[in-house]
Amino acid sequence: MKGTNRMLLFIIVYSIVLMFNAVLVIFSPHQFVRVVSLFGVVIASLTIGAFTREFFILKGARKGINK
């Protein structure tokens, strides 16, 4: 598997996990679980954003846009 394909697969899988965690934040009856899950969602969102940014940088570098 190429590096960009692997990164894209990781972004998709991580996004699905993030959606499940967001559902847990919304429907959890306990305040502590909501807070801990919310921190997890925020950290996961930052990670997905960083990987998505790197994906587009690599994609642009292959086309010769970013040198």
**Three-class SS of the chain:** CCHHHHHHHHHHHHHHHHHHHHHHHHHCCCHHHHHHHHHHHHHHHHHHHHHHHHHHHHHHHHHCCCC
Mean pLDDT of 34-47: 84
Provide the pLDDT for residue 1: 56
In this predicted structure, the answer to whether residue 3 has a pLDDT above a threshold of 80 is no
Indicate the number of domains in the chain.
1
Chain center to CA of 43: 9
- Count of CB atoms situated within 10 Å of the CB of 37: 19
Provide the pLDDT for residue 61: 79
Residue 8 domain boundaries:
2-65
